[in-house]
Amino acid sequence: MVQAQSEGAAMSRLSYAASAEQGFSLLELLLILSILAVLASFSLVNVGEYRHRLQVDVAARRLQLGLERARLFALSQRQPCGLHVSAEGWQKPLVSELPACVSSRLSLQEPFAAVPLTWQSNLPQLMRFAANGLTLDGGTVVLGSLHSPYRRCLVISLPLGVSRVGRYDGDPLDPAIGLSSSRCLPDEAL
């Protein structure tokens, strides 16, 4: 009878050990969840930076697209036209000195953009386009995001109005340097 009790106790210990090996303890589960949370936070930080870069890249492309649309509009209509350019994008001129390049109104940001863009420019208030499609005004625009050091630039060179988009090297707010087209470096990614 004593031997039967000891065999029963041994069997219950074996069944307890077998059931303990089949699952995870609370401590093990908490450890795994905390590791997964740390890994997820790393990926969220990278996604945020990527989103800010993408937003700046899209704005630079839209800025260049608006410029090309205005040139084509002036050429197709065979008349000069003008556009106002600002951080909001290409818009009708504030003064009616020239007719607006109507088809060129284009916002730089999507309405659902979480973070506003930063904008530095030495372009005139009114960008003028000749009847032959040439740009009559030039300058540099630097676009960025409040949460990222990433900057894109658009340079409009005269007399032909050749434009290029690149990566801005430096701080556009530095009063010693100011905006400089020479700091708008070519970027293979564009």
pLDDT of residue 129: 92
Report the chain's terminal Cα–Cα distance, integer Å.
86
Question: Do residues 103 and 69 touch, judged by C-beta distance below 8 A?
Answer: yes
Residue 153's pLDDT is 92
Gyration radius from the chain CA atoms:
31
Phi, psi (5° rounding) for residue 37?
-65, -40
CATH class of 39-186: alpha beta
Which residues, listed in sequence order, are joined to residue 185 by a DSSP beta bridge?
167
Predicted confidence pLDDT, tens digits, the chain (190 residues): 545 555 555 555 545 555 556 788 888 888 888 888 888 776 666 667 788 888 888 888 888 888 898 999 999 999 999 998 888 888 888 877 789 887 656 788 777 666 788 899 999 988 999 999 899 999 999 999 887 888 999 999 887 778 889 999 888 878 777 788 889 998 876 5
Q: CA–CA separation, 79 vs 183, rounded Å?
A: 34
Domain ranges of the chain: 39-186
CA angle 27, 28, 33 (to 5 degrees): 100
pTM of the full predicted structure? Answer: 0.71
